[in-house]
Amino acid sequence: MKSGSGEVVNLPIASPLEDVLSDYQTSGLSLGAHPLQFIRKRLSQLGIVAAVTACTRAEGSRVVVVGVVLSRQRPATAKGIIFLTLEDETGTMNAVVPKAVWQHCDAQDRRTPVLMIEGRIQRRGEVVHLLAEQLAAWDESDTDGPSLVGLPRMSRDFC
């Protein structure tokens, strides 16, 4: 690329993750990769499972998932229960968060774009959801690998 003075300027090439984060910042989605695929290796090392794997686990199984929050809902008729939908590179996971768990979570963490939820699988026929026992913002402070810092909050919140 040439500058206004005619000299050639070498611009750094964006990494695939930087491309995806830029897509999310400008349009709220990416036609390329999902942001979590860039940290899946780290998540797997920590015992954190993908949504598709969590959905195959038996009733009552304890799992930890991390996902981009698509929606937060607190219907007036649900007695303070929060319903979350998380998305990773394999699909979506619905989580039911009891009022006490939600209130115990730091207010800043409740609004983060990427959440980590630990809980137990509940099955009702074909419907699978995660009954949350703990939730927190995904913390990347102890990693030197790919980072999702810069991923904007895009969830639709009804609470």
Q: 102, 110 in Cβ contact below 8 A?
A: yes
To the nearest whole number, what is the mean pLDDT of the chain?
90
**What mean pLDDT comes out for the span 9-14?**
86
Q: The domain spanning residue 88 has which CATH number?
A: 2.40.50.140
pLDDT(3) > 60? no
In a domain, 82, yes or no: yes
The CA distance from 92 to 85, in Å, is 7
pLDDT(11) > 60? yes
What residue type is assigned to position 90 of the chain? T
In a domain, 25, yes or no: no
In a domain, 38, yes or no: no
Share of residues in the chain with pLDDT > 70 (%) = 94
Residue 108 lies in domain: 49-139+152-158
In a domain, 105, yes or no: yes
In a domain, 11, yes or no: no
Strand 114-124 versus strand 127-137 pairing type:
antiparallel
In a domain, 32, yes or no: no
Strand 156-158 versus strand 62-73 pairing type:
parallel
> The tokens 């008729």 sit on which residue?
77
Number of domains in the chain: 1
The β-bridge partners of 66 are 116
pTM: 0.85
Which pair of tokens denotes residue 72? Answer: 């937060």
Q: Each residue of 107-120: pLDDT tens digit?
A: 888 889 999 999 99
In a domain, 3, yes or no: no
* pLDDT confidence band for 2 (50 / 70 / 90): low
DSSP state of 113: S
For the ranges 4-18, 21-35, 85-99, 112-126, the lowest mean pLDDT is seen at 4-18
Position 81 scores a pLDDT of 95
In a domain, 135, yes or no: yes
The CA distance from 50 to 57, in Å, is 11
Q: Each residue of 47-102: pLDDT tens digit?
A: 999 999 999 999 999 999 999 999 999 988 888 999 999 999 999 999 999 999 99
